[in-house]
């Protein structure tokens, strides 16, 4: 009979013992069936219990990431906007200042009281500089176009209907207001070398026309939409009124001389 080593003996003894114990148990219990069960996996229970919590945490992290991304985008847009404004102003030869980008007034002045209130602020040197820089941003291809844009930006036709250059025929003289030198400086910033007399002439021509434009004191409102013929007639009326006004101004100048 071959010899078994210690390990084999131990294993055989364990197997025999286990078998004998199983047989004894079966003999003692008789016909009682054996009970078998399977332990649940330990990892399945914690996973099921923590799934909602993990989902909430993941959703919260996603929301935080979205908010952070939106904030970075907003900051980027603001930086790009400031950069574009600086590039535009530097290209046009106007000194840039963040404070200058804020409008000194929100809409064209409509009444003489509003005009006086805004003109009174020009006593402040800084506000005066700010107004000049702001009005100079309207641009224009030539002096004529720039002056008209500045006046449209500054006031309505209703306001300018009460003005002319020298203040004749019961109207206010634009040249004597605090805004006239501001308008001149704003135009010269766009057209270096432009003369004040040239700017004054354009201002006078514009003020002569405003009473006959929409909102002006002599504008003829129509119930029906204007036709092409109406537009031609209206333009002729305006030109005639300008000519008459010019003749009246010439007669006044001749009488003064």
pLDDT tens by residue, 186-207: 999 989 889 999 999 999 999 9
Residue 218, SS3 per DSSP? coil
Which ranges in 92-174 belong to alpha helices (H)?
A: 112-120, 125-136, 143-154, 157-160
For the record, the structure tokens of 221 come out as 């409102």
Average of per-residue pLDDT across 163-174: 90
For the record, the structure tokens of 103 come out as 């409008």
Average of per-residue pLDDT across 80-97: 63
- Give the pLDDT of residue 236: 60
Closest CA to 138 of 210, 190, 192, 78: 190
Max Cα distance, the chain (Å): 156
Best-predicted range by mean pLDDT among 51-55, 66-70, 148-152, 233-237? 148-152
H-run or E-run covering 89: helix 44-91
- Give the pLDDT of residue 69: 87
For the record, the structure tokens of 211 come out as 């009473």
Q: How confident is the model at residue 6 (pLDDT cuts 50, 70, 90)?
A: very low
Q: Please check the confidence at residue 20 and state whether its pLDDT lies above 60.
A: no
Better-scored residue on pLDDT, 240 or 17: 240
Q: How confident is the model at residue 19 (pLDDT cuts 50, 70, 90)?
A: very low
Alpha-carbon dihedral 130, 131, 137, 143, rounded to 10 degrees: -130
Q: Please check the confidence at residue 172 and state whether its pLDDT lies above 50.
A: yes
**Can you tell me the distance from the alpha carbon of 257 to that of 255, in angstroms, rounded to the nearest whole number?**
5
Model pTM above 0.75: no
Mean pLDDT value across the chain: 73
**Can you tell me the distance from the alpha carbon of 242 to that of 239, in angstroms, rounded to the nearest whole number?**
5
Using a 10 angstrom Cβ sphere, with 0-12 exposed, 13-18 middle and 19 or more buried, the burial of residue 119 is: middle
Closest CA to 109 of 179, 166, 168, 184: 179
Q: How confident is the model at residue 81 (pLDDT cuts 50, 70, 90)?
A: confident
Alpha-carbon dihedral 58, 60, 63, 69, rounded to 10 degrees: -80
Q: Which range is least confidently modeled, 83-87, 133-137, 178-182, 212-216? A: 83-87
- Give the pLDDT of residue 233: 56
**Can you tell me the distance from the alpha carbon of 219 to that of 234, in angstroms, rounded to the nearest whole number?**
9
For the record, the structure tokens of 122 come out as 């020009």
Best-predicted range by mean pLDDT among 35-39, 80-84, 102-106, 119-123? 119-123
Give every CB contact of residue 250 below 8 A, 6+ residues apart in sequence: none
Tokens 């010269």 found at:
188
**Can you tell me the distance from the alpha carbon of 189 to that of 192, in angstroms, rounded to the nearest whole number?**
6
Using a 10 angstrom Cβ sphere, with 0-12 exposed, 13-18 middle and 19 or more buried, the burial of residue 153 is: middle
H-run or E-run covering 234: helix 228-256
Average of per-residue pLDDT across 155-172: 91
């Amino acid at each position: 009979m071959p010899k078994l080593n210690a390990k084999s003996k131990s294993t055989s003894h364990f197997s025999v013992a286990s078998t004998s114990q199983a047989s004894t148990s079966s003999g003692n219990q008789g016909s009682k069936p054996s009970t078998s069960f399977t332990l649940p996996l330990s990892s399945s229970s914690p996973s099921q219990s923590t799934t909602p919590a993990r989902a909430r945490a993941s959703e919260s992290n996603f929301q935080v990431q979205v908010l952070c991304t939106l904030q970075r985008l907003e900051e980027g847009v603001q930086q790009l906007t400031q950069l574009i404004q600086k590039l535009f102003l530097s290209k046009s030869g106007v000194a840039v200042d963040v404070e200058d980008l804020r409008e000194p007034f929100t809409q064209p002045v409509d009444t003489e009281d509003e005009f006086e209130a805004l003109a009174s602020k020009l006593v402040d040197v800084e506000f005066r500089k700010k107004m000049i820089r702001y009005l100079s941003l309207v641009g224009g291809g030539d002096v004529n176009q720039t002056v008209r844009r500045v006046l449209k930006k500054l006031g309505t036709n209703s306001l300018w209907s009460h003005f002319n250059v020298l203040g004749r025929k019961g109207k206010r003289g634009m040249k004597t207001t605090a805004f006239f030198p501001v308008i001149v400086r704003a135009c010269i910033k766009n057209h270096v070398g432009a003369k004040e007399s040239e700017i004054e002439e354009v201002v006078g021509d514009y003020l002569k026309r405003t009473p006959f434009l929409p909102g002006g004191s002599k504008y003829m409102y129509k119930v029906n939409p204007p036709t092409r013929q109406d537009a031609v007639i209206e333009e002729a009326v305006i030109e005639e009124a300008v000519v008459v006004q010019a003749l009246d101004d010439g007669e006044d100048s001749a009488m003064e001389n």
